[in-house]
Structure 1
């Protein structure tokens, strides 16, 4: 399966679930910002969760099917449009060769993931296909997608993807009645980000901690795949301590020297010297990934045990989705 990029959009890159084996060599995780949307797009066409997708930032992009293609998409950054018809998300979509598909703006979020049956075929770099733009490696030639780029899928399909394709292949657009309900996997209040308090929380005075847990913060224009800078009330340290550079991961919330907050995201560094006040619960990182500059959020404290339980519950739900799709086609 093959597509050509007509209009790449603001920032479109190839991503998978990231590279975790080289953190000790200071190589960032990278990978999909919204891991949930990435995984659901893959599941809808029968792929493994780690198969490569295209991460589109915002919309205003388009591509052409150079061959018949079986794709799916998920995320809140854009809608797929074909012949002026909105395409449903989180379900397999078959398009004949020559089809031109556009991405138009979805005001809810920021990022959308496009999966193809078999996954997008790019070389593995450090056991991942994810693009790390800062160092210029991974993904499609280590860079964002450009006009006239041609992307192809892995030619070897697993049994589920093959069955989906065989049932949908036609001379025109086709898709099944079923879809994955992404909404059921997300909390209703998407501006409430659940966090676990972190190591240096005791470095800050009571007023700052109260402000952190009750105040409203907005996403600053400087935010990117490395981290989200937050605008809001500055926090004040009550101790004169400096932190030696120590481990950080996507979801770590740091307090800068000026008292501002930064949520580290997929392309963040592996160590940092700013105090860590909290860590975003893993199940809420997809919510952060869809935040746009100007969006407002609040933080809600939960325990580490609650965060783990929420994570395991979602993983259980995702495994049931995989099983249901497999049983339908095998």
Structure 2
């Protein structure tokens, strides 16, 4: 299966679940900003979670099917449109050779993930296909996608994917879709956080402010991190922090008291105090934030964050089992 890029959009890259084994060598994780949407796009067509997807930032992009293709898409940054009709998300979509698919604006979010049967065929580099543009590492030639790029799928398709293709030969998409209501909270702008190592370095007023006052996502926000606009935070402990480990989801406070959320392409170490870490289940919510969005932080315990994570994983397993059962794959 093959597509060609007609219009690449603002910042479109190949991503998977990232490079998690090379932090000690100062290699960022990278990977899909919204790992949940990435996984849903893959699971809808029977792919493994680690299969590469295209991460489109915002919309205003399009591509052409150079062969018949089975794809799916998930995320809140765009809708897929074909012949002027909005295609449903979180389900298999079959397009014939020559079809032109456009991405049009979905104002709810920023990023959309397009999977293809078998996953996008780009080389593995450090056990990942993800693009880290800053270092020209991985993905499609280490860069954002450009007009004229031709992308192929891996030829290896499992029984489920092959069965879906056979059943879609007479219609463009299935009559079912993945229900995300139990996976995504109703309040998309309240981000749950767990106090981090230097939480106690801040004075009481600053902690109360952090957990009660809104923040606005600043214009200087990208895959590396989001700079937030809001009340600055003051430290009661003034000592300097040696450069120490940080990961996507870490919330740092700069020397001037500004708040930064680290995201997928963040550095592996940092010297700013870590006031909190975003619960894993809410990092995908952050991935869909855009400049001007207003958010609030809500404190939960590490145990609660773990419980929420395992509950979501259980729901994802139920979804996968349901799809397999529907096509008699188990």
TM-score tier, shorter chain, comes to over 0.9
How far apart in 1 are the matches of 2:192 and 2:20? 24
Q: CA deviation at 1:165?
A: 1.0
Q: How far apart in 2 are the matches of 1:131 and 1:240?
A: 38
- Is 1:190 the counterpart of 2:184? The answer is no
Can you list the C-alpha shifts for 1:150-205, whole angstroms capped at 9, x where unaligned?
000001101111111111124xx511110001233111111100000011011111
Q: Specify every segment of 5 or more residues in structure 2 that has no aligned partner in the other structure, as ranges.
A: none
User: Number of residue pairs matched?
Assistant: 328
Counterpart position of 1:253: 251
TM normalised by structure 2 equals 0.98
Give the match for residue 105 of structure 1: 105
| 8 A contact 2:182–2:315 mirrored in 1 | no
Mapped partners of 2:175, 2:168: distance in 1:
11
Q: Is the CA contact (8 Å cut-off) linking 2:17 and 2:31 kept in structure 1? A: yes
The superposition leaves residues 228-265 of structure 1 with CA deviations (integer Å, 9 ceiling, x where unpaired) of 10000000011121100011000000000110000000
Question: Partner residue of 2:324?
Answer: 326
Residue 316 of structure 1 deviates from its aligned partner by 0.4
1:328 positional shift = 1.4
2:161 corresponds in structure 1 to 161
User: Hey, what's the Cα distance between the residues in 1 that align with 2:48 and 2:89?
Assistant: 18
**For 1:261-276, what aligned pairs fall within 5 Å after superposition?**
261-276=259-274
Once the two structures are overlaid, the 10-residue window that deviates more, 236-245 or 5-14, is: 236-245
Say which of 218, 221, 232 aligns to 2:219.
221
Q: 8 Å contact 2:193–2:299 — kept in the other structure?
A: yes
CA distance in 2, matches of 1:95, 1:103: 15
CA distance in 1, matches of 2:69, 2:148: 18
Alignment of 1:230-245 (within 5 A): 230-245=228-243
Give me the whole-angstrom Cα distance separating, in 2, the residues matched to 1:42 and 1:72: 7
1:25-63 Cα offsets, whole Å, 9 max, x none, are: 000000000000000000011100110000000000000
Q: Which residue in 2 is equivalent to 1:74?
A: 74
2:83 is aligned to 83
Structure 1 stretches of at least 4 aligned residues deviating more than 2 Å after TM superposition? none
Residues in 1 aligned to 2:254 and 2:68: alpha-carbon distance in whole angstroms: 50
**Structure 1 match to 2:41:** 41
Is 1:210 matched up with 2:202? Answer: no
Q: Secondary structure at the match of 1:221?
A: strand
Q: Distance in 2 between matches of 1:144 and 1:59?
A: 14
Give unpaired runs (5+ residues) of structure 1.
none
User: Secondary structure of the equivalent of 1:327?
Assistant: helix
Backbone CA RMSD of aligned residues: 0.7
Give 3-state SS (helix, strand or coil) of 1:219's partner: strand
Scaled by the length of structure 1, the TM-score of the pair is 0.98
Q: State the secondary structure of the residue aligned to 1:222.
A: strand
Cα distance in 2 for partners of 1:211, 1:34 equals: 27
